[in-house]
Amino acid sequence: MIYTLQNINSKEYDGSLVFLYGDESAERNLPLSKREIDVVKTKRNEKKNFVVSFDRLPEKLYFVSFNSESVASEVQEELRRQAVEVLKMMEKDGVKTVALNGEGTLPEEMAAFVEGLTLADYSFDRFRSDDRFHIEKLIINSVFFSEEELAAQQRLWNRIFWCREWVNLPVADLNAARFAEELQSVAENFKDVKCTVMDRRKVESLRMGGLLAVNKGSVDEPRFVVLEYNGIARNKDKATERPICLVGKGIMYDTGGLNIKPDDYMQEMKSDMAGAATMASVLFAAADNALPVHVVALLPLTDNRPGFNAYAADDILTMYDGTTVEVVNTDAEGRLILADAIAYAVKNYNPRVIIDAATLTGAAVRAISTFGIAAMQQNASSDLEMLKIVGNEVYERLVEFPMWKEYDELIKSDFADLRNCGTTPQAGTITAGKFLAHFAKEVPYVHLDIAGVAYFSKAQHYFRPGASGYGVRLLYAYLQMQS
């Protein structure tokens, strides 16, 4: 999609146009006939949020009515969702180039609509032989954005696009080694990004017992990728500032291991590396837009298979930090590889805060469905509060789960320091978070379980079926608050 800015007079524009209307005080500038104004007034008396199209043969006018008096974050989310309706109308009409303008519309409202249109226009097409409909060009009234502002948004949306592509790719096309190569290739485009790729031999030398155990059943070697972006290195006052460490679960495909998943749970398990794709995309977005922050992304990568000498229930693992873990279920593998990465961050980077993202538990989906992220924190209440605030603003919302000390009892083992699963099926999301918090030690730690939102089997608002990139906008907004 090509984005351009130009001065647009809606009443004189001779191409197809999307017009946003949120405030009756702007009625004098509507590009409508008297009859069309009457139609809009009648509809707005019934409800303020709707989309209607008017013929401007051979062109179209898509009129987007919204309620500008609602809470700002809800107004913007409604506009993102209304963009989906407009996209469907454009596809039906065969309109691939459209201009955007509005009255009674704030720049952030126009930005939300453009974002919704952009996110909704993405689909995973590389294996399809037919051509899907996509918008070719958006012409936006230059009163809403500067060139710099629009370019920055485009770079962020591009990172969301690539996050989705990585998650959508099947493991046959993107295993741990290939993903590591892709990350290294992207990193080479930035002078402020360092990429370190550790192969099996290096992982063995580090004694990462969790990552090595999960990989034992696979023919593909594991990788441990560390990306570091330092956007404050040139600032002498902040050059030694402790980094924000982002840890992402990178299970390239999850069969469940020897505790193999039933067939109806095996579908979509290529998405079990969404946490790693999310964290890499956030770091690259920060580098793209030169955010003045110091960020390290730590990405343990492997698939989880039942072959060869696969690790088994009752195995006892020694993790990177020396903690011993009794394996209760090989399908609770994500927390094992994350634990090694978190412990590595603690020892090697002295982080200001560690934030992980992982498609970790079905319990999170059962608790809050597909409407947000299950979140927990240890010694990081201010960071989680900030994430909640920006999550509400970008509408990638968080629900905080407790981390009470009583939950520690559920992951105690008779034979090792910890069990990798709780002693009961209850509180599965929390016990997973508790397990990981052990490895963060005293470092402020936030756990984000994105199991319900990383991948949608059916279209949900401006997310088509497949990977969503959910969490990239959240964490990018959080990093903007740090600068």
Assess whether 335 carries a catalytic annotation: yes
Sign of CA dihedral 147, 152, 157, 163: positive
Which tokens is 232 given? Answer: 């404050």
Return the SS3 of 144: coil
**How far is 273 from 248, CA to CA, in rounded Å?**
8
- Work out the angle at residue 141's Cα, subtended by the Cα atoms of residues 140 and 144, and round it to the nearest 5 degrees: 100
Of the residues 335, 434, 464, 473, only one is catalytic, namely 335
Beta carbons of 384 and 446 less than 8 angstroms apart = yes
Of the residues 43, 48, 261, 441, only one is catalytic, namely 261
Amino acid at 121: D
294-304 vs 244-248, strand pairing mode: parallel
Q: At what angle do helices 72-93 and 107-121 cross, to 10 degrees?
A: 50
Beta carbons of 220 and 200 less than 8 angstroms apart = no
Beta carbons of 245 and 351 less than 8 angstroms apart = yes
Sign of CA dihedral 331, 336, 342, 348: negative
Q: Which residue has the tokens 């009457």?
A: 38
Q: How many CA atoms lie within 13 A of 110 on its CB side?
A: 24
Q: For residue 274, what are the CA distances in angstroms to 40, 253, 259, 361?
A: 43, 11, 22, 13
The 3-class secondary structure across 185-213, one letter per residue, is: HHHCCCCCEEEEEECHHHHHHHCCHHHHH
Which tokens is 289 given? Answer: 């837009």
**How far is 254 from 252, CA to CA, in rounded Å?**
7
Query: In sequence order, what are the residues at sequence separation of 6 or more whose Cβ sits closer than 8 angstroms to the Cβ of residue 245?
Result: 295, 296, 297, 298, 345, 349, 351, 353, 354, 355
| Catalytic positions | 261, 335
